[in-house]
C-alpha cells in the first residue's frame, strides 16, 4: 500500500510576514515618488524663481503713462470703476486708441486722443476689446469706429493688431468659458503682449456676489497674466450711491488684486453734478495714489478732452466722499516713512501727529488713513528704501490698533 504523503506549505506559500511588509514599506518610502502634474508645475516654478534670484532683477517699465505719470504696468489686472453714465467705457477706449496709435506710428492730436495717455515704446501688442453689454448692430460697431478713428484709422481700415468680440449673446453661465477660449485662441500664433479691454467685468459671471464665481474669474485673469503675457483693463460699475466701492463681491476681490484702480465720476458742487469729470487713481501699485486728472465730454469729437482746470481749484467740490480735503492721499503717504521710522505706532499717536502736521481734525486724519489701506493701498519707500504699504492691526486682546509700514509683496 502506497503511503500518502501530505506536503506542508513551504515558506513561499506562507503569505507575507511582518518583516517582509516592513521591508516593502521601507522600500516605498525610500524611493522618490513620481510627482503629480500639479507638483511638477510647482517644482518647475521653484527652479525658475531660484534661477531668477541669481541675477539682478529688472522690473519692466510701465505700459501706459498719463502725461508723465506711470499708470498701468504690464502683466497686471487693472480696473476702471464708476457709477453708471460717467464715461468709463470712453476712458477704456482711450487706452485702446493710444495703443493703436503707437503701434501704427500714426500721428494724432491730443484733441482726438483725449487725455494724454501714452503707451510704452517698442512693445508688440495685440489689442482685444471684449464687450458684454452693447448691442452688436450699432452700439458696439460705433464704439470700435471711435476707437480706431482716434488712432487715425478710417472706417474701412482693419488694423491687424486689433480684434474685438461680444459676449452679449452668450448665456451668463457660458461667458466665463467663452472668455477663456477666446484668450487662448488669440494667444496661438502671436508672441507679443495681449492688451485686453474687458467691458464690463461683472457681466462675465452669473452672479457678481457669488464668492466662487468671483474668485474663479479673478483666477482666470491672473493665469492669463502669467501664462499668456497679458494685461487686463476691466470696466466695472460701482455700487449705487455715494461710494467708492466696485460692485459686489467680485468688485471687492478685483480691487484687492488690481494693480491700478481708476475711478471716473462727475464732480459735484453743492450736492449737484457738474459737467466736469474727474479721473482719480485710487490705487497705483508702484506709485502713490491720489493722482487726479479732469476732463469734459466734447460734443464735436464725441469723446473726452482735457479740462483746463487745476486739481486745487476743484478740490473743495470733488465728488469723492468724505470731508473736504486739505491734503492729498499722496501728501499723507509721504509723511508716513518718517513718522513710522521707529516701528509701529498706536493709532491715537499717529492720528494726533498727522492732525498737527496737516492742521486737520483727528477724524479727518482717520479718513485719510483709511484710504491708504486695502483695497486702495498706497505704496511708499521707507527710510531704508524698501517699497512698503500701510498696515493696521490690533495691538493685542483689546480694541487698540497699531499702524506700521511693512514691505509689500
Query: CATH number for the domain including 387?
Result: 1.10.10
Establish if 130 belongs to a structural domain. Answer: yes
Establish if 44 belongs to a structural domain. Answer: no
| Beta-bridge partner residues of 281 | 262
Are both 333 and 245 inside the same structural domain? no
Residue 297 burial (CB count, 10 A)? 14
Q: Give the separation between CA 114 and CA 102, rounded to whole angstroms.
A: 15
Determine phi and psi for 254, rounding to 5 degrees: -65, -40
What contacts 172, CB < 8 A, 6 or more positions away?
203, 205, 206
Q: Which of 6-10, 19-23, 32-36, 343-347 has the lowest mean pLDDT?
A: 6-10
- Residue that is last in its domain, among 282, 317, 352: 317
Are both 256 and 346 inside the same structural domain? no
Residue 307: its pLDDT value, please?
80
Are both 168 and 234 inside the same structural domain? yes
Q: Which of 14-23, 147-156, 254-263, 315-324 has the lowest mean pLDDT?
A: 315-324
Q: Which of 21-35, 111-125, 174-188, 307-321 has the lowest mean pLDDT?
A: 307-321
Establish if 181 belongs to a structural domain. Answer: yes
Contact 161, 131 (CB under 8 A): no
Are both 240 and 286 inside the same structural domain? yes
Establish if 400 belongs to a structural domain. Answer: yes
Are both 343 and 215 inside the same structural domain? no
Are both 390 and 273 inside the same structural domain? no
Total of domains in the chain: 2
Q: Sorting pLDDT into bands at 50, 70 and 90, what band is 29?
A: low
Q: Give the separation between CA 230 and CA 261, rounded to whole angstroms.
A: 17
Are both 149 and 82 inside the same structural domain? yes
- Residue that is last in its domain, among 290, 317, 344: 317
Exposure class string for 258-286: b at 16+ Cβ within 10 A, else e:
bbbbbbbbbbbeeeeeeebbbbbbbbbbe
Are both 285 and 369 inside the same structural domain? no
Are both 207 and 343 inside the same structural domain? no
Are both 252 and 333 inside the same structural domain? no
Q: Where in the sequence is the domain holding 117, given as residue range(s)?
A: 64-317
Are both 230 and 256 inside the same structural domain? yes
Residue tagged 477704456 (cell numbers): 92
Residue 325: its pLDDT value, please?
61
Establish if 4 belongs to a structural domain. Answer: no
- Please state the rounded mean pLDDT for residues 328-333: 78
Contact 237, 246 (CB under 8 A): yes
- Please state the rounded mean pLDDT for residues 299-319: 66
Are both 387 and 292 inside the same structural domain? no
Amino acid at each position: 500500500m502506497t503511503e500518502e504523503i501530505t506536503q506542508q506549505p513551504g515558506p513561499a506559500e506562507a503569505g507575507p510576514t511582518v518583516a517582509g511588509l516592513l521591508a516593502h514599506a521601507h522600500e516605498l518610502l525610500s524611493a522618490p515618488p513620481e510627482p503629480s502634474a500639479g507638483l511638477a508645475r510647482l517644482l518647475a516654478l521653484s527652479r525658475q524663481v531660484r534661477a531668477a534670484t541669481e541675477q539682478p532683477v529688472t522690473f519692466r517699465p510701465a505700459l501706459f503713462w498719463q502725461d508723465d505719470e506711470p499708470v498701468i504696468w504690464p502683466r497686471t489686472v487693472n480696473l476702471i470703476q464708476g457709477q453708471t453714465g460717467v464715461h468709463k467705457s470712453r476712458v477704456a477706449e482711450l487706452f485702446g486708441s493710444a495703443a493703436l496709435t503707437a503701434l501704427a506710428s500714426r500721428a494724432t492730436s491730443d484733441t482726438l486722443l483725449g487725455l494724454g495717455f501714452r503707451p510704452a515704446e517698442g512693445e508688440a501688442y495685440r489689442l482685444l476689446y471684449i464687450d458684454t453689454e452693447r448691442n452688436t448692430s450699432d452700439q458696439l460697431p460705433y464704439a470700435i469706429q471711435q476707437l480706431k478713428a482716434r488712432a487715425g484709422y478710417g472706417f474701412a481700415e482693419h488694423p491687424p493688431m486689433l480684434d474685438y468680440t461680444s459676449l452679449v449673446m452668450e448665456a451668463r453661465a457660458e461667458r466665463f468659458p467663452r472668455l477663456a477660449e477666446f484668450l487662448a485662441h488669440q494667444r496661438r500664433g502671436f508672441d507679443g503682449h495681449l492688451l485686453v479691454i474687458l467691458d464690463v467685468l461683472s457681466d462675465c459671471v452669473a452672479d457678481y456676489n457669488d464668492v466662487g464665481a468671483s474668485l474663479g474669474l479673478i483666477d482666470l485673469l491672473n493665469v492669463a497674466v502669467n501664462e499668456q503675457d497679458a494685461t487686463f483693463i476691466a470696466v466695472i460699475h460701482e455700487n449705487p450711491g455715494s461710494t467708492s466701492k466696485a460692485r459686489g463681491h467680485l468688485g471687492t476681490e478685483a480691487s484687492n488684486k488690481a494693480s491700478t484702480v481708476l475711478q471716473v465720476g462727475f464732480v459735484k458742487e453743492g450736492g449737484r453734478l457738474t459737467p466736469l469729470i474727474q479721473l482719480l487713481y485710487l490705487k497705483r501699485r508702484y506709485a502713490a495714489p491720489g493722482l487726479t486728472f479732469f476732463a469734459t465730454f466734447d460734443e464735436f469729437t464725441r469723446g473726452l478732452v482735457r479740462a483746463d482746470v487745476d486739481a486745487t481749484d476743484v478740490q473743495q467740490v470733488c465728488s469723492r466722499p468724505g470731508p473736504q480735503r486739505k491734503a492729498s492721499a499722496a501728501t499723507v503717504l509721504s509723511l508716513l516713512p518718517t513718522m513710522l521710522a521707529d516701528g509701529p505706532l498706536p493709532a491715537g499717536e499717529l492720528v494726533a501727529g498727522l492732525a498737527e502736521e496737516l492742521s486737520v481734525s483727528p477724524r479727518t486724519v482717520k479718513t485719510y488713513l483709511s484710504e491708504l489701506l486695502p483695497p486702495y493701498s498706497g505704496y511708499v519707500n521707507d527710510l531704508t528704501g524698501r517699497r512698503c504699504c500701510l498696515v493696521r492691526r490690533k495691538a493685542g486682546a483689546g480694541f487698540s490698533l497699531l499702524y506700521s509700514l511693512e514691505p509689500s509683496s
